[in-house]
Amino acid sequence: MRKLLLGTTALAAAASLSANAALADVSISGMIEWSYDSRSSNVAANNGSSFGQDSDMQIKFSNKTDSGLTVDMLVDFDTDSATDNDHFANDETSLSISGGFGKIVLGKDDNAADSYIIDESDLIAEDQAPGVSSMTIDTGTSLVMGSADGNKISYHLPAMGGLTFGISQADGGKATTSSDTISYGANYAIDAGGASITLGYTAATTENTTQDIDSENMGVKVVSGDVSFILSQSGYEANDEDRQAMGASVSYALPNGMKVGAYTVSADDDLDVNEEYTRSGVEVQYTIASGLTAYINVDDYEYKEGTSDGTTASHINDSGTASKLTIKATF
């Protein structure tokens, strides 16, 4: 009798687990891209060509509770960052809970501000930003943030008309010295004369013993039919750093599955006298088939090292052209 009772209990538990598992929706997605890079530079070490590869895989579990909450678990793997062929790196693992109150995200994930950044690279799929190893300057207008995919808590308000907003605090990982990162961002979307206009502002602060690290980004995106346009700017302040950057991009979607884009960036650092970076380029995207796309990018760039805090003579300057062919598959 006891064996029968134990067996019945085990079957009931297994059935319960199976039923609970069936409630969760599971999705798996991934991408892989292969590239051929060629660079013509006046610095010999930067000259030449190479092959490149990048790949990523995501697994997402989603469940709807009886009370109407949506509970998600996201696991993101960078499948090209392994030190050997038997393992790959876990980039992000996070829990999100969403409902009428908005959305809370807990764990290793992007900063909240990342969802609201508007910069010139948004219209360009394969932004390559060539430079040299000695550069201490921004190569675009995206928000510079600490913590990256570190452990954090984020909150996103539910959309209120055209306004969306999010804020996060990331753990600096140090018990004795605080180095947490607070980031926040907002977008405001409106329609005007048949065009969709989105305004964005984001900011991040990382606590630091010498001087807090502050960065901000603001931009405007206009979409009218097949034409999109972005204007953006950014700032970054830290110990011995006071950087500014301006960017712009435009893209046009053709009816044959091709999209063309152009972009430009200029940046400088007020504390590193005469340090400057400029870059302009074009991109052509072509959809070969569903989930398979080819990209061609050509960048002209120039970097002037200037002087470090006005005291160190400049030795490394670089200018040239960087070209890239990318074949990307998404699943």
Question: Concatenated DSSP letters for 16-42?
Answer: HHHHHHHHSEEEEEEEEEEEEEEEEES
178 inside domain: yes
Number of domains in the chain: 1
Nearest-angstrom CA–CA distance, 279 and 235: 17
List per-residue pLDDT tens for the chain, 331 residues long.
Answer: 334 333 444 444 444 444 444 468 999 999 999 999 999 998 888 899 999 999 999 999 999 999 999 999 999 998 886 555 555 677 899 999 999 999 999 999 999 999 999 999 999 999 888 887 778 889 999 998 877 778 999 999 999 999 999 999 998 766 555 678 999 999 999 999 889 999 999 999 998 888 899 999 999 999 999 999 999 999 999 988 899 999 999 999 998 889 999 999 999 998 877 889 999 999 999 999 999 999 999 999 999 987 755 455 555 788 999 999 999 999 9
The reported pLDDT for the residue numbered 4 is 39
Can you give the residue range of the structural domain that contains 183? 27-330
Contacts of 116 (CB under 8 A, 6+ apart): 164, 165, 166, 185, 186, 187, 200, 201, 202
Nearest-angstrom CA–CA distance, 246 and 43: 26
What is the CATH number for 163?
A: 2.40.160.10
Nearest to 195 by CA among 232, 227, 162, 230: 227
122 inside domain: yes
Instruction: Give the pTM.
Output: 0.84
Q: Provide the residue type at 265 as one letter.
A: V
16 inside domain: no
The reported pLDDT for the residue numbered 308 is 58
5 inside domain: no
Nearest to 108 by CA among 62, 147, 57, 59: 147
Nearest-angstrom CA–CA distance, 84 and 36: 23
Nearest-angstrom CA–CA distance, 252 and 179: 42
The reported pLDDT for the residue numbered 150 is 83
User: What are the Cα distances from residue 304, in Å, to 113, 277, 301?
Assistant: 31, 6, 10
21 inside domain: no
303 inside domain: yes
7 inside domain: no
The reported pLDDT for the residue numbered 152 is 93
User: What are the Cα distances from residue 293, in Å, to 30, 285, 296, 315, 327?
Assistant: 14, 7, 10, 41, 6
Cite the DSSP H helix spans in the chain. 2-23
6 inside domain: no
